[in-house]
Amino acid sequence: MLRFDIPPVWSNVIRFEAFLTFVMCLLAYTLSPWLMVIPAVQGFIRGFFGHHREPMHGVWVKLFESRGWAGKKENAGAKMFAAKLLCIASSAAVGLYLGGQSFWVVPVYVLLVFSTLEWAFSFCAGCWAYTLWFQAFPPKG
């Protein structure tokens, strides 16, 4: 389901944000699991309110547009779904860590893999899942 009520997003800005997610996950794994709170909050804002509402996204858009690096416009619906998955996985990592579970690293590993696919190859696994979701459960009305 395409979202035309939300402004489209720039492809290279999204890829850069995926790179930053990769770095944050790597730092969380090596330094402190508490760093996963940052992608959880960013994923929540981007996923439920739109990328245009997240402050750092606005900074990257201005920087990339001024340099001519922004790429092409993409529909925000699938990217918002991917951001919701980022929020869920990051929150799961923090929750598991709070619960004293050593497998808090599993969602971090998953995010490392999928954020790498996005920034390195422009393959959005969340967008792919979004398409499958709406094929399986088409909106009614």
- Split at pLDDT 50, 70, 90, the class of 140 is confident
Residue 141 is predicted with a pLDDT of: 66
Least confident of 76-80, 89-93, 136-140: 136-140
Q: What is the DSSP letter of 74?
A: E
**Helical ranges in 31-104 per DSSP H:** 37-48, 55-67, 76-98
Structure tokens at 122: 């422009």
- The model's pLDDT over 5-15, given as tens digits with 9 standing for 90+, comes to 889 999 999 99
Residue 75 neighbours by CB distance under 10 Å? 16
- pLDDT tens, residue by residue, 13-27: 999 999 999 999 999
Domain edges within the chain? 9-136
pTM for the model stands at 0.92
